[in-house]
C-alpha cells in the first residue's frame, strides 16, 4: 500500500501547534504491538517468539486496551494465541518492533491527540525490505483517526525517552550514527527533536548497551521513571565492556539538568548476565550472508532490565536472569509504588533483538483532532 492511501500529513510541527510527547507514565488510551513472523529473525518459524508476544499482549490487555497489528496471512494463527481482549488489525509488516516503526503520539493542553510519523530505515539498513514497516505509523494513525505529522528525520522510538516536561534522553551512538541522518548536525537533530516532541532540553548519553544491534537505543540503557529520576543499566564488573559505558552515562546524567532546571537522581538497575546465544538459538540468514540478519551462536545478547513498559497501573518488566530478576523487580517496585510490577520471561524476545519496551508503543489518552 502506498502512502497516497493515507491522509496528507499536517503542515507545520507539533511544537508550533502546541503539542508535546507525554511521558510514558501518563494515562494511556491503549497500547500497540506488531505480530512477529519473520523466519530469519525468529527461530522455530517464529512460534516461540509468538508465544512470548502473546504473553506480553495478554498481560498488558488486563490493564489497558491493546491492538495487535497482524499480517493478513497470520490472522487465524494470532487469533488462536491471543485472548479475546486483544484487538487484531490486519496490516502487512516486515518485522515486529512497534516502538521503532510505530508513531510517536503527541497531545496538547486541550486533550487533542496527534502523531509523528518518523522516517524509518530499519536501524540503518539492518534488514531489507522495510517498505511495510515504513507505513506502520501512518496505518496506526489512520486507524485511530489522529492527524499525522511527517518528520524530516530518521528516528526510532526506542532511541528517545521523555519526561513529559520538556526533556528528552538519547544517545550519541544512535542519533549521531552516519547510517541514520548523515546530512544533519547535532544541533539540527536537537532542533528536530524540539519541533516534533515539544521538548526544550536534550540530555545526550554516549554509547548504548554493549552489543545492542539498534546502535545504542536509549531504552536499553536509561529511562525516566518520573521527572528528575532516571533508571540506568549498571555493571559492577570492570572486565565487562558495559562497565565504562554505564559509568560514562552516570557521569553525564549527574552533570545534567532537565528542562525545569532540576538535577537528576540516578537509580541503578543491575545488568543481566551477560547472556549469550546458544547453538540451538542460532538462525542462518535466509537472504545470504551479505543481506539480512545474523543470529550466531556465542553472540552476546543486548539484555537490559531498563527495557520495561509503563502502562496504566502496570510496570511490565523482562525476566532474563534468575540471579538478578528479583533485585530488578524490587527496585522497580520502589520506583513505581502505585503500579503493579509484573515480570515475564522474555528471552525469546531478546533473541529477536529487543525486549518488552521495543515491541510496544503507548497511545496516550486524548481525542484525535
Catalytic positions, written as ranges: 358
CA torsion through residues 315, 321, 325, 331, sign: negative
Residue position matching grid coordinates 546502535: 215
Of 307, 362, 315, 311, whose CA–CA distance to 334 is shortest? 315
Count CA atoms within 13 Å of residue 148 on its CB side. Answer: 24
Q: Hey, is 230 helix, strand or coil? A: strand
Strands 265-270, 229-234: pairing is: parallel
Whether 64 and 31 have beta carbons less than 8 Å apart is answered as yes
Pairing of strands 361-364, 28-34: antiparallel
Annotate 62-110 with three-state secondary structure: CCCCEEEEECHHHHHHHHHHCCCCEEEEECCCCCCCHHHHCCEEEEECC
3 state DSSP class of 179:
coil
Residues in CB range of 150: below 8 A, 6 or more apart: 9, 117
Which SS3 state, helix, strand or coil, does residue 243 take?
A: helix
Q: Which three cell numbers stand for residue 295?
A: 543470529
Whether 344 contacts 356, CB under 8 Å? yes
Number of Cβ within 10 Å of residue 28's Cβ equals 24
Closest CA to 361 of 72, 152, 97: 97
Cβ proximity of 32 and 100 under 8 Å: no
Of the candidates 195, 231, 225, the residue with the CA atom closest to the CA atom of residue 304: 231
Terminal alpha carbon distance of the chain: 24
**What does the alpha-carbon distance between residue 183 and residue 151 come to, in Å, rounded to a whole number?**
15
Amino acid at each position: 500500500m502506498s502512502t497516497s492511501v493515507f491522509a496528507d500529513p499536517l503542515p507545520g510541527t507539533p511544537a508550533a501547534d502546541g503539542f508535546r510527547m507525554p511521558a510514558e507514565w501518563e494515562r494511556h488510551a491503549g497500547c500497540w504491538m506488531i505480530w512477529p513472523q519473520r523466519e530469519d529473525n525468529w527461530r522455530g518459524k517464529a512460534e516461540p517468539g509468538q508465544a512470548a508476544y502473546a504473553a506480553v499482549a495478554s498481560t498488558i490487555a488486563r490493564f489497558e486496551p491493546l491492538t495487535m497489528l497482524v499480517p493478513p496471512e497470520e490472522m487465524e494463527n494470532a487469533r488462536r494465541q491471543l485472548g479475546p481482549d486483544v484487538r487484531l488489525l490486519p496490516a502487512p509488516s516486515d518485522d515486529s518492533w512497534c516502538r521503532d516503526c510505530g508513531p510517536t503520539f503527541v497531545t496538547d493542553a486541550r486533550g487533542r491527540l496527534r502523531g509523528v510519523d518518523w522516517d524509518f530505515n530499519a536501524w540503518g539498513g539492518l534488514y531489507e525490505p522495510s517498505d511495510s514497516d515504513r507505513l506502520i505509523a501512518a496505518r496506526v494513525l489512520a486507524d485511530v483517526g489522529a492527524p499525522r505529522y511527517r518528520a524530516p528525520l530518521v528516528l526510532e522510538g526506542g532511541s528517545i525517552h521523555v519526561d513529559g516536561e520538556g526533556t528528552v534522553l538519547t544517545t550519541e551512538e544512535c542519533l549521531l550514527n552516519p547510517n541514520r541522518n548523515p546530512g544533519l548536525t547535532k544541533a539540527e537533530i536537537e532542533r528536530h527533536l524540539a519541533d516534533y516532541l515539544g521538548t526544550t532540553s536534550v540530555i545526550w548519553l554516549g554509547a548504548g548497551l554493549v552489543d545492542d544491534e539498534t546502535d545504542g537505543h536509549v531504552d536499553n540503557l536509561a529511562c525516566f521513571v518520573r521527572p528528575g529520576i532516571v533508571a540506568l543499566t549498571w555493571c559492577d564488573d570492570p572486565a565487562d565492556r558495559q562497565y565504562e559505558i554505564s559509568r560514562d552515562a552516570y557521569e553525564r546524567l549527574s552533570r545534567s539538568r532537565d528542562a525545569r532546571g532540576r538535577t537528576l537522581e540516578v537509580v541503578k538497575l543491575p545488568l543481566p548476565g551477560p547472556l549469550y546465544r546458544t547453538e540451538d538459538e542460532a538462525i542462518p540468514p535466509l537472504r545470504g550472508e551479505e543481506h539480512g540478519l545474523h543470529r550466531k551462536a556465542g553472540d552476546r545478547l543486548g539484555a537490559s532490565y531498563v527495557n520495561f513498559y509503563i502502562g496504566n497501573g502496570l510496570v511490565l518488566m523482562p525476566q532474563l536472569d534468575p540471579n538478578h530478576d528479583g533485585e530488578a523487580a524490587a527496585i522497580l517496585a520502589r520506583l513505581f509504588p502505585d503500579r503493579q510490577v509484573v515480570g515475564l520471561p522474555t528471552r525469546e524476545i531478546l533473541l529477536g533483538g529487543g525486549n518488552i519496551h521495543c515491541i510496544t508503543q503507548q497511545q496516550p489518552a486524548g481525542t484525535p483532532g
